[in-house]
Structure 1
C-alpha cells in the first residue's frame, strides 16, 4: 500500500478583469493511493460522481462511484457492471437517469473476446434505483472503429470522439442529433474545432452554447494536450481558443467536465511538480512518487467564468 500524502495545492495566475485570479486545485487528493484517476462526471446536485481508476499500463480500467455525505465524499466503489473489461469515460446524463461510458466489452455475453471501443450506457427509472445491465448504443453511432468520450446536451444531442475514416484528422469530435428517440448519422464537426491532428474528450454544455475539448500538440497550445473552448455563434461553432494557464500546462491536460451551476471546471492532467531537491536518497524519491503531482493522471478543478473567454 502506498503511503497516503494528502496534499491540496493551488496554482494561481493573474487573469483578466471579471476574474482576478484563476486557480487550479487537486479535486480529490484523498484518492492519491490509486495510480491513475481520470474522467470525472457528476450529477447536478453535486452529490453523486463517477470517474475511472486505471492501472499504470491501463490494462485494468474500472468505473467507480462516490457519494457526498455531509461535506465529505465517500470512498470510491466499483460500479456493479464494471471490472471485467476496460471501462472508462463515464458521463451522467443531465437528468441523472443514464450513465454513458466507453468499453471494449463484447456485444453479447456468449462472446468472451473484447472488441473495439464502443459507447455503452446503463439506465435507471429513478435516481435511487440500481443501474441496469450495460446496453450498447448501437449504430449509427457505434461502428467497427473506436468511439470515445460521450457527452450529451439536455436535448439528447450527442458529442463524442471517433477515429472513423470520416474524420478530418487522426481523431475528431463528432456530432449526432437526437431526433424522435433515435440518433442521426454522426458528422464530424467543422475545422473551427477539428484539425488534421488529434481532437478528443469533448464536453458539451447543457444548452449547446459552448464545447470544451482536448487538442494534441496544436500550434497555439502550451505543449502536449491542451483544453480548448468554442462558442456557438449564429448556430455555428466559432474558432476554438485554448483555455488559459494554469488550466493548460506543458503537460497532458484532458477530459473536461463543467459543473455549470457553480462554474467549476473539472479536468484530468498528468502534470508533475519539479522536486525541490535532487533525488539523492530514497526518502525524497518516495515522497515525490507518492505525491499528487507525480506525472500520473489526476483530477483537478478550477473555478472559471467562461463568458469572459468569448
Structure 2
C-alpha cells in the first residue's frame, strides 16, 4: 500500500485533486516531503501557498518554510522571511487568512532572554505563541508576541485558531497530569482569558496537536486513547449539544499506522485533513541487491522513516456526525 501511495502522491505534487481521497497522499514528494523532518501544514485558501516546518531528525533545529505553487508543481521551499534565526515551528493560519501563528523560543520582548523550558529535570528551548500579519503586498509583517496567560508555561505547541478568535493548543500545565493536554484560550476583549483544559477524558492519556474546526464543531488531535496503533494516532472529538466534548474516536482507514501520526491541520476543502507521519517504505527480504547509488537514494528519500506531510479525506466521518459543509 505504501508503494500505491507513492504513485498517488504525484497528484499532490502536480496540484491535481482526487476526491474522495481513499488513501493518503504524500504532499510534494522530494520537494516538500523529503528525507528531513516535515510537519505542520498551513495552506492558504487559494491552495497556492504552503507553509510548514522543516527540521533535522532530532528536531533541535526547526525552521518555517514556504512553498508557492508554480503552475502544476510546488516550487522549491524557501525559509519564511520571519524565520531562520530561532527555533520556530508549527505554523497555522487563522480561518480568515489574515494571520499566520507559530511558536518560537525567540525572546518575548526586546532585551529579554530566549525562552527556555524545563521538564523532568531537562532544560530545552521553550515556546511562546507569535503571529505575523498579512500585508497588502501579499507578504507578512514583523512577528508579534501574543501576550497573556497562554504563554506562561513556555511550552505551547501546535496552535489552532477558531473563527471567533479562540486559540486551541497543547501544553504541559499544572493541571495536565504527567503528559500534555489540549487547552483553549478564549478571546476576551483585546486579549485572551486564562487557558482552560479541554475535557477530552482522563489526563493520564497524552493529547497533543489540536486542529479545531473553525466553528468549533469538532477537534482532531494526536495521542493515545488506549487503542493507538503506534506511538501516537489521530482522534476526533465532536462538540455535543450540551456543550461537552464527545468521547474521542480513533480515525480509521489509512490515517493511522504503526508509525507516529501527529500535527494534524484542516484544509479549506470540506473534510480535507493534513498530518505528519514517519511511516516508511516496507522492505521485504531478500531484497533486490542494492548498489551504493540505489541505497543512497532510498535511504535519503522521503520514505526513509522521517516525518512527512500527508493529505487525507475525513468527509465521511464528519457526515456521519451531521456535519456536511
* Fold shared, TM-score > 0.5 on shorter chain: yes
> Aligned ranges for residues 120-135 of structure 1 at < 5 Å?
120-126=130-136, 128-135=137-144
Equivalenced residues, count: 294
Alpha-carbon offset, residue 204 of structure 1: 0.4
Whole-angstrom CA distance in 2 between matches of 1:254 and 1:89: 11
1:106-158 per-residue CA deviation (whole Å, 9 max, x = no partner) reads 123434644321111111343x3432221111211101341111100111111
Alpha-carbon offset, residue 224 of structure 1: 1.0
Alpha-carbon offset, residue 220 of structure 1: 1.6
Alpha-carbon offset, residue 28 of structure 1: 1.5
Match of 1:14 in 2: none
> Aligned ranges for residues 114-125 of structure 1 at < 5 Å?
114-115=115-116, 116-125=126-135
Q: TM-score, normalised by structure 1?
A: 0.87
Whole-angstrom CA distance in 2 between matches of 1:114 and 1:73: 34
Name the one with the larger helix percent: 2
SS of 1:288's equivalent in the other structure is: helix
1:60-104 per-residue CA deviation (whole Å, 9 max, x = no partner) reads 211011122332222211111111111010001111111100111
Structure 2, unmatched stretches of 5+, are: 10-18, 117-125
Which one of 179, 202, 207 corresponds to residue 199 of structure 1?
207
Does the C-alpha gap of structure 1 residues 20 and 207 become closer, same or farther in structure 2, counting only changes over 3 Å?
closer
Alpha-carbon offset, residue 164 of structure 1: 0.8
> Aligned ranges for residues 1-310 of structure 1 at < 5 Å?
8-10=6-8, 22-31=22-31, 32-111=33-112, 113-115=114-116, 116-126=126-136, 128-192=137-201, 195-216=203-224, 218-234=225-241, 235-278=243-286, 281=290, 282-305=292-315, 306-310=317-321
Whole-angstrom CA distance in 2 between matches of 1:186 and 1:207: 19
RMSD between aligned alpha carbons?
2.3
Contact 2:30–2:302 at 8 Å: present in 1 too? no
Whole-angstrom CA distance in 2 between matches of 1:101 and 1:139: 15
Alpha-carbon offset, residue 10 of structure 1: 4.7
SS of 1:236's equivalent in the other structure is: coil
Name the one with the larger strand percent: 1
